[in-house]
Amino acid sequence: MIYVMMALYQEAHGLIRELKLKKNTAYAPFEVFDNESAGIRLVVTGVGEIAAAAATAAVCARDGADTADFLVNIGCCAAGGCEPADRDMDSGYGAAHAAQTGDLYVCHKITEQATGKTFYPDILYRHPWKERELVTGMQPLQRAAAHGALYDMEAAAVYQAGIRFFSPDRMIFLKVVSDSGVAGQERMTAETLAGLLEQHVKAVAGFLANLWKAADEEEALRSGGILQEDEAVLEQIFAALHCSQTMRASARQYITYAALTGYDWKVELKEWYARGLLPCKDRREGKVRLEELKQVLL
């Protein structure tokens, strides 16, 4: 199942229509729309961190969501006030430019303003959008966000509630720029919010469909026993990288993806041992090597 968390019905309306979602009153008092055959459950959480965390945790706990599922947070955000470089999936960081109203971004780093805690969704699946940092605050933006990051009021809470059910590579945050965040310059209306998301509805719906297809393929791969036969090899790799539980989940996901594409990952890692890249001396080096492994396998 793909769980889609959106703060406002006005933001969600176009996606509800495009995905043919129907209201599901079994989740009251939470506002839920779903399409079981498409594997989508959309939750209108309400605005703010408390509302977002409560709705995310309640729905996922009721369903028994786990690491085989996906969590996707979609909504509007403020531009943040200055011009950092966008990150491109293929070439790293690209040219700096100001985020424009209507731009859609994938968030690769989320910082909770109130606590300073930072979270890193592990962006594994290919997408057509640029990436930027996001700051989550408890009230509308009053000044430029840190380093020109985007700014919203829900993402950090969705992440912290979601991490109890999903691994970091199964949580994706999509944000559409709605305004500059400068008080008094723009007035957001229901029509404005609906229009901003509407222009991305088909692309987002297609992306969600691809996620669901990927989940089916991964399940078929596991059911077929391909990775099960390689458990001993995987355990050796995890030990060589000094993996934490989060690192183990990421490494397994990268290798699963490589296996799905037919890439001979075992030959690649055998070469790493031959070149002295494995085993690592400690977890710090293991984290560096894991990021290199991601670049090779994906």
Give DSSP secondary structure letters for 22-83: EE-GGGTTSEEEEEGGGTEEEEE--SSHHHHHHHHHHHHHHHT--TTSEEEEEEEEE--SS-
In a shared domain, residues 106 and 185: yes
* 251 shares its domain with 123: no
Q: Output the pLDDT for position 142.
A: 64
**Residue 159: alpha-carbon gap to chain centroid:** 9
For Cα atoms 124, 127, 131, give the angle at the middle one, nearest 5 degrees. Answer: 85
Clarify whether residues 232 and 213 are in a common domain.
Answer: no
Query: Does residue 281 share a domain with residue 179?
Result: no
* Closest alpha carbon to 72 in 32, 43, 29: 43
pLDDT at residue 79, rounded to an integer: 85
Structural domain containing residue 52: 2-217
On whether the CB atoms of residues 29 and 212 are closer than 8 A, the answer is no
Q: Residue 91: its pLDDT value, please?
A: 43
Cis ω before 128 (30° cut-off from 0): no
Within this chain, do residues 258 and 162 fall inside the same structural domain, yes or no? no
The parts of the chain modelled with pLDDT lower than 50 are 90-91, 93
Q: What is the pTM of this model?
A: 0.77
The answer to whether residues 66 and 157 belong to one domain is yes
Same domain, 144 and 279: no
Residue 268 Cα to chain centre, angstroms? 28
Domain shared by 213 and 230, yes or no = no
